[in-house]
Amino acid sequence: MPAKIINGFEIAKRKRVEIALEVEQLKEKGVTPGLAVILVGDNHASRTYVSNKQKACQEAGMYSLLVELPESVPEAELLEKIRMLNTDDSIHGILVQLPLPGHIDETKVIDTIAPAKDVDGFHPINIGKMMTGQDAFLPCTPYGVMVLLEDSGIDIPGKNVVIVGRSNIVGKPSGQLFLNKDATVTYCHSKTKNLKEHTSKADILVAAVGKANFITAEHVKDGAVVIDVGINRNEAGKLCGDVAFDEVAEKAGYITPVPKGVGPMTITMLLANTLKAAKSGK
Ligand code: NDP
């Protein structure tokens, strides 16, 4: 039987309505959640991501501030801008769109964002809190994956979860969130030997590799839940994930499509984190 499709687009839409309602209630108490997005340079993809985030913010009734800085901006000037936003009461969340130009140290930039405004969940304080199971801003994509599973009624405790990919923004935090929910977690990466041996044992398989059609039916156990985080272009230039959707959907129990799977959840969780930041001051 073909897999059930986890429709991230519909789930995200529903969550955004809930967020907008809460924003409205908060505004009645005199607080408008505010998100500042810093865009350095003129990278086309970054500009698209930023404008999508701004649009979502406005649709949720939040205040959205775009800070545009030239590609050549000195690192010190960017850090100063972040410090100003850290103390700006109209701003509850700060996001610096990555990647940054080569002369700027991304680690320093992330470390400068006040942890209480780090709605991307990349600051070491938030990562440490997440690791130790404390309340934290969770990184948006892994957080979105967990909400997709929860919303789809998929149980996590005791499950074998295999994450393919170990980046700091997707793979590693995803595994940690599953561990926090009592899963048994395996991380795979480019040095993993016999990848299939690992992935075929997964009750829940998360692909965060960045390679089109990388996960095929032979990697997947019958009835597994397959979460495709990848966003790639195939040879025909069409948007696709890391999972060979058609063949894997024949074997899996659940699957997320690309587009309309994990992608829409990432911005939704950014809104959720911004709302949480705004509420925490109240
Ligand atoms: P990275 O390039 O930072 O990480 C890719 C990971 O895949 C690395 O850990 C790498 O291993 C691993 N990998 C590469 N080749 C192989 C292989 N042959 N076998 C096993 N593992 C391999 O990517 P990101 O984590 O940032 O992103 C992953 C994908 O998710 C991308 O397509 C990206 O566009 C997408 N993405 C989607 C988001 C969304 O909102 N849906 C948000 C963020 C990302 P190693 O560490 O050994 O190099």
Greatest CA separation for the chain: 57
- Would you tell me which CATH number, out of the four given (3.40.50.300, 3.40.50.10860, 3.30.70.380, 1.10.10.10), belongs to the domain 30-114? 3.40.50.10860
What residue ranges of the chain are covered by domains with CATH 3.40.50.10860? Answer: 30-114
Note the pLDDT of residue 235: 87
Determine whether the shortest distance from the Cβ of 195 to ligand 1 is under 6 A. Answer: yes
Q: Between β-strands 239-240 and 232-233, what pairing exists: parallel, antiparallel or unpaired? A: antiparallel
Mean pLDDT across 238-250: 97
DSSP bridge partners of 215? 243
CA of 273 to the centre of ligand 1 (A): 23
Distance (Å) of CA 215 to CA 191, 192, 219, 244: 16, 14, 6, 6
Q: Does pLDDT of 212 surpass 70?
A: yes
**Cα 185 from Cα 3, distance rounded (Å):** 23
Mean pLDDT across 141-154: 98
| Number of residues that make up the chain | 282
Note the pLDDT of residue 135: 97
User: How many helices (H) and strands (E) would you count in the chain?
Assistant: 10, 11
Instruction: Please report the atom of ligand 1 found closest to the CA of residue 170.
Output: 25
Q: Does pLDDT of 34 surpass 60?
A: yes
What residue ranges of the chain are covered by domains with CATH 3.40.50.720? Answer: 139-263
Note the pLDDT of residue 202: 98
> pLDDT (tens digit, 9 = 90+) per residue, 160-174?
999 999 999 999 999
Q: Which CATH architecture has domain 139-263?
A: 3-Layer(aba) Sandwich (3.40)
DSSP bridge partners of 36? 65, 94
CA of 164 to the centre of ligand 1 (A): 8
Q: Does pLDDT of 1 surpass 90?
A: no
Decide if 53 is catalytic: yes
Is 220 within 8 Å of 205 (Cβ atoms)? yes
Note the pLDDT of residue 8: 98
**Cα 212 from Cα 191, distance rounded (Å):** 19
Q: Does pLDDT of 20 surpass 70?
A: yes
